[in-house]
Amino acid sequence: MAEVKIARTETPNYEVPFLGPDLFRTRMFGYTPFTLMRRFGDELERVFGKGGEAAVWRPAIDVKLEKGMMLVHAELPGLKKEEVKVTITGDLLAIEGERKTETEEKKGGWVHTERNYGKFYRAIALPEGADAAKATAEFADGVLAITVPIPEVAPAVKEIPVGDVKAKVEVKH
């Protein structure tokens, strides 16, 4: 019988700066390109900072079309309605604002202060025919609810009669 030598070698390090060691592992291949780009952007911001600008905040927003209405819900915890601005320009619905929070804790002769700032701006395309004049916005318990009426347009249906082939047409070139 032949002798076999088994030697242990170091596992190659596939870590890519900014994306971490998981890029080449199978669980990363299930991510969408948008998720990877967002993660890459977040890591760049973490490494290089914001250059003195206030941090960008991305609140969760849901949009759905239902019964002739476009319904938009934005989760804006900690904000007051005075800190939120909703505008419609052309075919874009824009939601923007800024949150500023500061907490201070005094304990054992130490003072711990945290400040969080975050601006956000989201633009959502309105469907054709949206009635901006009748749009409404309500803010309660950190949730912004926007309703924009959209006329329901019945699809144009044209019936095409089906006939029999009566004669064969010859085409000469």
Identify the band that residue 156 occupies on the pLDDT scale cut at 50, 70 and 90. Answer: confident
Poorest-pLDDT segment among 26-35, 48-57, 59-68: 48-57
CA 18 to chain centroid, in Å, comes to: 21
Which has more pLDDT, 123 or 58? 123
Mean pLDDT of 32-56: 67
Token pair for 78: 């900690």
Q: Which residue has the higher pLDDT, 96 or 30?
A: 96
Q: How many contiguous H segments (helices) and E segments (strands) does the chain have?
A: 1, 7
In the chain the domains, ranked by start, together with CATH numbers, are 11-49 (no CATH), 54-149 (2.60.40.790)
pLDDT at 60 over 70: yes
What are the structure tokens assigned to 166, written together?
């009566």
Which element (helix H / strand E) includes 73?
Answer: strand 69-75
Residue 105: per-residue pLDDT: 87
Rounded to whole angstroms, the Cα distance separating 80 from 90 reads: 27
Residue 1: band (very low, low, confident or very high) from pLDDT cuts 50, 70, 90: very low
User: What single DSSP character describes residue 124?
Assistant: E
